Amino acid sequence: MKKILVTGGLGFIGSHTVVELQNEGYEVVIIDNLSNTTISVLDSIVSITGITPTFANIDLRNQKAVGDFFDNHTIDGVIHFAAFKAVGESVGSPLSYYQNNLNTLIYLLQELTVRKIDNFIFSSSCTVYGQADSLPITEKEPVKPAESPYGYSKQAGEIILRDSCKASELNAISLRYFNPIGAHPSIKIGELPLGVPQNLIPYITQTAAGLRGELSVFGDDYPTKDGTAVRDYIHVVDLAKAHISALARLMHKENKSNYEFFNVGSGTGSSVLEVIKAFEKASGKPLRYKIVGRREGDVTAAYADTTLANKELKWKTTLSLDDALASAWKWQLAQEK
Ligand code: WQD
């Protein structure tokens, strides 16, 4: 049984990916320092699959601890989620973002190249494109100067990966996520934002649940169908399955070069107002919201051309925006119990 290390495996996307890895028959080892999640997610994963992953509470910024881990585990592949990911927060704390998001990647890659662990999947983001010149966004779209230290840490991460693959036997795939939303159909795992949610969907569900007064819609003066910004919302389970496809590509040596990257989105752009309307339909609850000014750093529109991932990863989304919003609402209601 192939053994896969999932860093950040108790996080939102990480936990959903662990479930899919176990469903595929992989043995899973999770590293997480619990800085942005809770240990209860581990039990929730077990309650879904009946399989207990190995768990190591390690901070990947501790280079010695990373080396010790690999002394004790024979790993066949790594899926690296562990990183700080709040765009706004990164502007105020650039050094902690660069230290956490880049040092940890470098420590991991140093171990992998020495130990000849050749399969690595990197959690990247559509943020690397900034405001793309053409839509939908293909992988040929140029990477633009980042608008935040978070975005730059993803761009730098991809470059570090590309250069490491060139200089070693390492094979890697970066998956450029669009906007992951929703929760596992079991409603046992989902998004657990700590504090005030930065992202749209958890803010919507907390507003509908009465935990927030009303949603602030950040701008309705964008050059879009209804003036509100457009994003590509992808169900987190579809996103998790893209990691299974990417890992299989590497394990079966089907990759066409030693460093590849793919856009992982639904391929559909939805405006904030469209999401609100879809949520009201999915939840049966009217949503209180007000229009306010634009948020610093937001782009007008971003949605994926998924042709390359569909073809090369033999992967495509199967769940809709409505499915994702309904699962997000059910997950929110489950939090109150
Ligand atoms: C979506 C839309 C907001 C909150 C970020 C990161 C990206 C990825 C996903 C990590 C935007 C609007 C939001 C609110 C609003 N994260 N909005 N009111 O900014 O597209 O992407 O999260 O990988 O890298 O950049 O996601 O959910 O914050 O915003 O009107 O209270 O909802 O303006 O148009 P975003 P988001």
Which CATH number does the domain housing residue 103 bear? 3.40.50.720
Q: How many domains does the chain have?
A: 1
240 found inside a domain: yes
Residue-level pLDDT at 293: 97
336 found inside a domain: no
Taking the centre of ligand 1 as the mean of its atom positions, its distance from the CA of residue 194, in whole angstroms, is: 16
Atom of ligand 1 nearest to the CA of 294: 33
Taking the centre of ligand 1 as the mean of its atom positions, its distance from the CA of residue 218, in whole angstroms, is: 10
Tell me the β-bridge partners of 56.
31
Please check the confidence at residue 305 and state whether its pLDDT lies above 90.
yes
Q: Is the CB of 271 under 6 A from ligand 1?
A: no
Please check the confidence at residue 179 and state whether its pLDDT lies above 90.
yes
Please check the confidence at residue 304 and state whether its pLDDT lies above 80.
yes
Cα separation values, 310 from 48, 119, 180, 285, 304, Å: 28, 21, 18, 35, 11
328 found inside a domain: no
Cα distance between residue 15 and residue 331, in whole Å: 15
Please check the confidence at residue 297 and state whether its pLDDT lies above 90.
no
225 found inside a domain: no
Active site residue ranges: 150
Q: Is the CB of 264 under 6 A from ligand 1?
A: no
Domain region containing 172: 3-182+233-265
Q: Is the CB of 280 under 6 A from ligand 1?
A: no
Structural tokens at position 209: 């649940």
Whole-number average pLDDT of the chain: 97
Residue-level pLDDT at 337: 77
Taking the centre of ligand 1 as the mean of its atom positions, its distance from the CA of residue 199, in whole angstroms, is: 5
204 found inside a domain: no
Residue-level pLDDT at 100: 97
Taking the centre of ligand 1 as the mean of its atom positions, its distance from the CA of residue 18, in whole angstroms, is: 24
Give kind and range of the element (H or E) at residue 27: strand 27-31
312 found inside a domain: no
Structural tokens at position 7: 């860093």
Average pLDDT in the 121-133 region? 95
- The model's pLDDT over 206-236, given as tens digits with 9 standing for 90+, comes to 999 999 999 999 999 999 999 999 999 999 9
296 found inside a domain: no
Q: Is the CB of 300 under 6 A from ligand 1?
A: no
Residue 296: which pLDDT band, with cuts at 50, 70 and 90?
A: confident
Cα distance between residue 60 and residue 67, in whole Å: 10
Residue-level pLDDT at 147: 85
Average pLDDT in the 6-33 region? 98
Cα distance between residue 155 and residue 135, in whole Å: 20
Closest C-alpha to ligand 1, atom 36: 199
278 found inside a domain: no
